[in-house]
Amino acid sequence: MTQLIVEADGGSRGNPGPAAFGALVRAAASGEVLAEIGETIGDTTNNVAEYRGLIAGLRLAHAIDPDATVEARLDSKLVVEQMSGRWKIKHAGLRPLALEAQRIFPPGQVTYTWVPRAKNAAADRLLNDALDGKPRAAPAAPEPPEPPAQLGSATAETQQLFVETAPPETFPVEPGPAEPAAEKPEQTGGLMAVWSSELGPPTTLVLVRHGQTPMTKARVFSGGGAVGPSLDDVGQQQAKRAAEFLAESDVLAATLSGTAESGAAAASPIVVASPMQRTRETAGVIAARLGVADIAVDEQWRECEFGAWEGLTLAEITERYPDELAAWFSTTTAAPPGGESLDDLFGRITGARDRTVARYTGRTVVVVTHSMPIRVLASSTLEAPPSSVLRLQPAPGSVTEIQLYDDGTSTLAGFNHRP
């Protein structure tokens, strides 16, 4: 029996926004590409585009050999879990697409495998080429067989709650297409190279995520709406390792030793913390090691407000608030009930960054904060789309370094270092 591999991807620029899919079929034995396609589909969401890519790939495979066994490889965890029957398809707009994909081959001939985005580069290239005005057409394929009476396993009531074993605060989101590189010189011509001496000294933000708490360990949402909890024993050790790392690191060497390149006397280290108990405890350990008497507490550096999701696991949120969670994953304007949208979070955290830089221009500032604020600043520094915050994962007690220059240039000098 013929064995085929389908690689499929879909995405939109804006989510929702201009969307496309890419798909190809390989011979399983040789890896040879037998057919490929990339098409635009108007304005829609990432999830719809992912399903459209799967449908296109399965149709290509069916045209090659309707009796083949097929392994469909996608970088969308959502589509893989739903089509495998482990997640219930709750979004009404996705059910017809799942049904359309399921009916292309008889039951049992298709299996679904999640792959990292890096291993789905060929399909990603096809969809981005299509969005850039270079679609790839496929040969005409015969109509798929008539649909079965019901969706079957893809609408099973039981979800496999794999999120319980994911790292703390990891979100199962679908990677979107890479943003195209800037083509117009004027878009980047005003920025100097970061190694240019004309830029002058940067203001350096050393972002430290607080150490582990019982809620971190339990993998529940722990936001900025409550002062607690405190660090647990593991979190205390993480705070001590972060403090020791900072005391011995080059980034604070000039401040601590008085050997700044400018020749000026060294200023005292600066430590800023969000008002949450876990960040203040972490900051206290760091300040003690650095010899800092006072910690500046800034409530704008608090964690994202999760509202009704506070204290719940991702699995529990998926069960109780499926529509709200889907919206939060799909658009930056949606917020948890009683919580903050990503747009609100971006505004608050970039404002906190700008105020900190204005107050401590040219200095190195240790900011003890939370997972989501660090994600926001890393994403903003890289000029990545806001949805990218759901694909970043700073660990408890980790250190991230961002340098900001007077002309607006910023660099991500280090991310998620784990002492």
Binding residues for substrate are 278
303 given a catalytic annotation: yes
Task: Measure CA 110 to chain center.
Answer: 29
- Helix, strand and coil content of the chain, in percent to the nearest 5, comes to 40, 20, 40
Which candidate in 39, 50, 303, 324 is catalytic?
303
Residues 23, 104: Cα–Cα separation, whole Å:
15
Q: Which residues are annotated as a binding site?
A: 278
Both tokens of 180, joined, read 């195209």
Out of 7, 39, 81, 210, the active site residue is: 210
Given CA atoms 220, 222, 225, 231 in this order, what sign does their dihedral have? Answer: positive
Half-sphere exposure of 339 (CA within 13 A, CB side): 27
265: left (phi over 0), alpha (psi -120 to 50) or beta: beta
Let me know if 383 is a catalytic residue. Answer: no
What does each C-alpha distance from 32 to 49, 206, 216 come to in angstroms? Answer: 25, 48, 45
Helix (H) or strand (E) holding 34: strand 33-44
Cα-flanking dihedrals φ and ψ of residue 205, to 5°?
Answer: -100, 120
Catalytically active residues, by annotation: 210, 303
